[in-house]
Homo-oligomer: A and B are copies of this chain.
């Protein structure tokens, strides 16, 4: 996906536009005009078109009936679906990691999260957006240690789409602490090779997170989503 040597204009437009879309920076009803985007990114329509095609393939933009492209609107329903699929995949990953995971990587993960725990009890606390990245990184590393690149890629895609919600999980210091504890417990269990227990911990962890998000985001976001649902 990343061009090997020199990132092209199309790549640049793709990632910047994608970032905007995933942050929800673009007005939802508004059509994305190729020429206008080309002007914004100081380039021509060709790279913009290529970026849009990729974003369309990713499902981050959708076609309106007239053939124009608009930002895809997340719905409550799709969020639930995404969490559902994510849960199944994460469970699979810890099972695989438990049975035949890369021990070196798993132990590195354990070390890193012990360090985070120490930092935290040492008074240095992590705030939302930064911790979201840590959290995503944990789950991706587990998948990578499990040795399933197909799943890694799928999880990354899922994470892109729920990131906008995930930040709501880490607005309280309690949740950050609980997450660190969960992660340590999971990776320890994986290293013990207990697939069933690890899967159960992961399931509980993700479900807890989903519950908190659901609660925090609450009715406000739900209503926002509802109205913008197509």
Contact = CB atoms under 8 A, between A and B. Distances in A.
Contacts of A10: 53
A145 to B, nearest CB: 14
Contacts of A164: none
B81 A151 contact: yes
Contacts of A63: 3-4
How many copies of this protein are present in the complex?
2
A89 interface: yes
A81 B149 contact: yes
Nearest to A93: B88
Contact of A49 (B50, B57, B82, B151): B50
18 contacts: A3-B63, A4-B67, A46-B46, A49-B50, A53-B54, A54-B54, A54-B56, A54-B57, A57-B57, A59-B153, A78-B150, A81-B151, A82-B150, A84-B96, A84-B151, A85-B154, A88-B91, A88-B92
